[in-house]
Structure 1
Amino acid sequence: MQESIKSIFTESIQAQIAAGEVLPDALESAAFTIVQGLINGNKLLCCGADNCHMLAEHMAGLLVNFYETERPCLPAVALAQTSVHLGQSTTSDDADRFSRQVRAFAQQGDLLLVIAVNGNEKDIVSAAEAALTKDMKVIALVGDDGGELTGLLGPSDVEIRVPSKRPSRIVESHLFIIHCLSQLIDNALFPQGEQ
């Protein structure tokens, strides 16, 4: 069993090394996009597929509160994962649960951060489509080949695609990416001297 445990750690480390080789440009672009949006008085809306929504909540919480150093609040919100309808019955995986919130709450210039494993999750694709109809920039954290989500993104959007097909490795990398973005945003908006 211990060899299996070591193998899991090794695979995770190798996935992080691979991500570290291919993602710096995308991370820099995403951080710059978020910083510019916040400076311009806009907010970041965050949502994630079922297995990633806690990461969207975590990102919004890090901006509203703080990452490692106390600083003023930044405007970010995680979209609600559940929908309430009194009319027709819907399922918990309602494909419109995030897109309706984007249409209701987003203003032009706001940003949407979507987090998915393979980019084919219907609720995430719908949210990105809704954001694009409002001229919002989309930052997509995704893995595998990026799926349908990748095809929606334009030149002003940012794709951060983890180079892995394993859902567990992708989600682990997403958490690391969120922490990296939080640090980059804090460093840009609230420089503390030498880091």
Structure 2
Amino acid sequence: MNSVHNVSALKIDVSSVDAYLTEAAKSVSDTKSIAPDIVAAAQLCISSLKAGGKIIFCGNGGSAADAQHLAAELMGRFLIDRNPLPALSLTVDTSALTAIGNDYGYEKVFSRQLRGIAQKGDVLFGLSTSGNSKNVVEAFEVAKAINVHTIALTGKNGGKMAESANVLLAVPHDQTNHIQEAHIAVGHLICAFVEAELCSPKL
């Protein structure tokens, strides 16, 4: 079976498809090892929303896309046609991102927005496959200072985000693409839990 870790050796054939999807499925399946943490993250989100809080997401690159994706699942709908749930991503406002990055530095692009938007009791989801993204780490530090709960969605070691997260969701894999594939599965599951607890279908 062709290796999916050595891209230069990867052949475009059926066996490579099988190898990649087998590894992707394994990375998601192995994430069952953090099931109690996933439940804790869902409960934290549910408690915040019940108390009038909101869910805030942030990340860079592919994780920025996932942050926007998960915020949209809550604000729009996931599996149930229901009223919107308050959620947003700090990655979507290009004017804020570029102004803050230019004036204060890229490591401030999330933390400064958080100070302006977040309220006590909100939840901040930080997505980073390494757990070391400087702007996400700084956002977690600010979140702690302003009493915002934090959930870290990372790779297997958790990185620096593990030190300050209220809940750590460390996918047990060390390859970025497979970590991200597991991240969206975990995020979808949490959205499903939130809907199941808080929402009923619209008639």
Normalising by the residue count of structure 1, what TM-score does the alignment of the two structures yield? 0.89
What is the Cα-based RMSD across aligned positions, in Å?
A: 1.8
Asked if 1 retains the 8 angstrom alpha-carbon contact of 2:80 and 2:200, the reply is no
Correspondence for 1:102: 114
Structure 1 position 31, deviation (Å): 0.6
Residue 39 of structure 1 pairs with residue 50 of structure 2: yes
Q: Distance in 2 between matches of 1:6 and 1:87?
A: 42
Q: Distance in 1 between matches of 2:34 and 2:48?
A: 21
Q: Which one of the candidate residues 65, 68, 73 is aligned to 1:57? A: 68
Q: Distance in 1 between matches of 2:141 and 2:62?
A: 20
Higher helix share: 2
Structure 1 position 165, deviation (Å): 0.1
Correspondence for 1:182: 191
1:86–1:118 Cα change, 3 Å: closer
Match of 2:21, SS? helix
Match of 2:124, SS? strand
After superposing on structure 2, the runs of 4+ consecutive aligned residues of structure 1 that deviate more than 6 Å are none
Structure 2: give runs of 5+ residues left out of the alignment: 1-12
Cα deviation code 1:43-100 (max 9, x no counterpart): 1111112220111111111111110210111111111354233995677xx1110010
| Matched length | 186
Q: Distance in 1 between matches of 2:144 and 2:100?
A: 28
Residue 148 of structure 1 pairs with residue 160 of structure 2: yes
Correspondence for 1:120: 132
1:90–1:132 Cα change, 3 Å: closer
Cα deviation code 1:92-130 (max 9, x no counterpart): xx1110010011111111110111101011111011111
Residue 10 of structure 1 pairs with residue 22 of structure 2: yes
Question: Which range moves more in the overlay, 70-79 or 43-52?
Answer: 43-52
Q: Distance in 2 between matches of 1:104 and 1:33?
A: 22
Normalising by the residue count of structure 2, what TM-score does the alignment of the two structures yield? 0.86
1:180–1:142 Cα change, 3 Å: same
Structure 1 position 14, deviation (Å): 1.2
Q: Which one of the candidate residues 160, 173, 191 is aligned to 2:169? A: 160
Match of 1:145, SS? coil
Give the aligned residue type for 1:190: C
Q: Which one of the candidate residues 170, 173, 176 is aligned to 2:179? A: 170
1:87–1:71 Cα change, 3 Å: closer
Asked if 1 retains the 8 angstrom alpha-carbon contact of 2:100 and 2:109, the reply is no
Asked if 1 retains the 8 angstrom alpha-carbon contact of 2:58 and 2:89, the reply is yes
Structure 1 position 135, deviation (Å): 1.0
**Percent sequence identity over aligned pairs:** 28
Question: Which range moves more in the overlay, 76-85 or 114-123?
Answer: 76-85
Question: Which range moves more in the overlay, 10-19 or 36-45?
Answer: 10-19
